[in-house]
Amino acid sequence: MRKMWVASACLVGLTVLAGCAQGRQTMATRAIDSVAEIDQENMAEMMLAVADPREAVEYFTRASEASPDRIVLSRGLARSLMRAGNAADSIPVWRRVIDHPEASPDDRIELAEAYIRANDWAQAEAMLNTVPPTFETYNRYRLEAMVADSRQQWDRADSFYEVAAGLTPEPAGVLNNWGYSKLTRGDSRGAERLFTEALRSDPTMFTAKNNLVLARAAQRRYELPLVQMTQVERAELLYTMALAAIRQGDVRTGRGLLQDAIDTHPQYFEAAATALAALR
């Protein structure tokens, strides 16, 4: 009887040990999977941050095909395609992302941006309309402003630009876009103010410098603004101002500005020299 009890106890012990071993193996597998997922997410962030866009596209294409259920990989592929200038190709990938159970409103906003870059403004507006109104981010309002601009809804665009500028610590880009919107409407003074604000935020932003020159030239103010600029930038801004003057019929002023651009540039300024030769 005692032997049977010992045997039963041993069997129970073996069963418990087997159950413990299986439990440890399951826990170890889960831990390894968790580490693999974290490593995959870290790799995805690194590829998006520092990799060449084409290399990132190749990496995320392979990784998302191997793990099609991982939203981080599909999202990485869509963003990489956007970075590589392939907005149209990113759209079907973004659509897969927003159909994923773990999709967020940010994914819908990024899909709307892809539609804008692909020049499909109607789809961009429709996608933004699916984002809850309580989801308020810089990128959402920046895109809302651009869509309103495309529909020439100026008051609505101004409101969205203002909100977007207040939601980011680096508003230079959205202020520059807002200024360009004002410039296309014929409000050159309002545009000048916004380009100046953009340059206060980012003094190195050449696009804002160039646009500021255009805004001043639209008012027939043909002197360079007092902003930080290199010698090459100075020559290029003089060239921009010269072309604006010529388009407005101020040919003599334009000719002088072209000559100043040629004299200022540290190297041969072919575009300015060609324009000046054409005037002569």
> How is residue 227 annotated by DSSP?
-
By C-alpha distance, which of 201, 176, 205, 209 is closest to 191? 176
Evaluate whether residue 7 is within a structural domain.
no
Amino acid at the residue 58 = E
Q: pLDDT for 9-59, tens place per residue?
A: 444 444 444 454 455 555 433 433 444 444 656 767 776 666 678 888 888
Q: Is residue 245 part of a domain?
A: yes
* pLDDT band, residue 114 (cuts 50/70/90): very high
Is 239 contained in some domain?
Answer: yes
What does the pLDDT read at residue 12? 44
What's the chain's average pLDDT?
Answer: 86
For the ranges 52-66, 128-142, 176-190, 251-265, the lowest mean pLDDT is seen at 52-66
In a domain, 260, yes or no: yes
What angle separates helix 188-201 from helix 206-218, to the nearest 10 degrees? Answer: 160
What's 79's domain CATH number? 1.25.40
Please say whether the dihedral angle defined by the alpha carbons of residues 81, 86, 87 and 89, taken in this order, is positive or negative: negative
Has residue 266 been placed in a domain? Answer: yes
Last residue of one domain, picked from the residues 51, 68, 103 = 103
- Range of 69's domain? 43-103
Q: Is 64 among the domain residues? A: yes
Higher pLDDT among residues 275 and 33, named by residue = 275
User: Can you tell me the distance from the alpha carbon of 82 to that of 105, in angstroms, rounded to the nearest whole number?
Assistant: 18
> What is the Cα–Cα distance from 224 to 212, expressed in whole angstroms?
9
The reply to whether 50 falls in a domain is: yes
Do residues 67 and 36 make contact, with C-beta atoms less than 8 angstroms apart? no
pLDDT at 55: 85
The percent of the chain in helix, strand and coil, each rounded to the nearest 5, is 80, 0, 20
- Look at 36-45, 134-143, 268-277 and tell me which has the smallest mean pLDDT: 36-45
pLDDT at 22: 56
* Top-confidence range, 21-30, 59-68, 107-116, 271-280: 107-116
What's the pLDDT at 15? Answer: 45
**pLDDT tens digits, residue range 146-159?**
999 999 999 999 99
Q: Do residues 142 and 174 make contact, with C-beta atoms less than 8 angstroms apart?
A: yes
Of 53, 83, 103, the residue at which a domain comes to its end is: 103
* In-domain check, residue 170: no
What is the number of structural domains in the chain? 2
Q: Which of 103, 131, 154 is the last residue of a domain?
A: 103
Under DSSP, the state recorded for 101 is: T
